[in-house]
Amino acid sequence: MDDPIQRHPTWAEQLDILTSLIAETAGPSARVLDLGCGTGYLEHLLSAKRQDLAVTGVDMNEASLAAAGKRFEDRGDYHWVQGDLWALDAIDLPRQDYTVAVTCLTFHGLNGTEEQALITWMASQLAEDGVLLLMDRIRLTEAALFPLQVALWPLMPMRPI
């Protein structure tokens, strides 16, 4: 199959776009909720762009949360919560008025009902003017879908990293 785009943004470029979007649009002292935070890589990139953001990271893996906590042990405004995205009601967040709720690479493992539940739950954690950002991978295998992909990429600003 011919690739009509010829060059897809790398994972690093995609994360740079996402963190730049948050950094450039979130107001002063905004609060960010990251679902599926892992070891805090998104927070690492975000903190290089903005030091005033408070972050709550949620992940089900204790070892990942411990690594994130160690990486950001000097940040009193970063909190790490163990939680399972398949048991949303059991996640005990410190607040429910986040400016930004973001998740990266968590949706491809969920079915449609679980995706809908997660989006609804994320939206319920946001302040009235909050923003929900979702980034995940999709694979288009049908040539008929390529025009859709071609139409989407120009909307994303490409920045060198």
pLDDT at res. 159:
43
pLDDT digits (tens, 9 = 90+) for 62-81: 999 999 999 999 999 999 99
Given a cut of 60, whether residue 108 has pLDDT beyond it is: yes
The answer to whether the beta carbons of residues 132 and 119 sit under 8 Å apart is yes
CATH topology of domain 11-155: Rossmann fold (3.40.50)
Nearest 5°: the CA angle 30, 11, 73 is: 45
pLDDT given for residue 77 in this prediction: 93
- Stretch 44-52: mean pLDDT: 95
Q: Hey, where are the domains in the chain? A: 11-155
| Residue 46 or residue 106, greater confidence | 46
Would the pLDDT of 5 be above 60? no
Least confident piece of the model among 48-52, 91-95, 116-120, 149-153 = 149-153
What are the CA-CA distances from residue 128 to residues 81, 96, 104, 116, 124 (Å)? 23, 10, 22, 19, 9
pLDDT for res 78: 95
Over range 2-25, report the average pLDDT. Answer: 78
pTM, entire model: 0.81
Element (H, E) at 130: strand 126-135
Q: What is the pLDDT of residue 3?
A: 54
Which of the four pLDDT bands, split at 50, 70 and 90, describes residue 161? very low
Q: Cβ–Cβ contacts within 10 Å for residue 76, how many?
A: 8
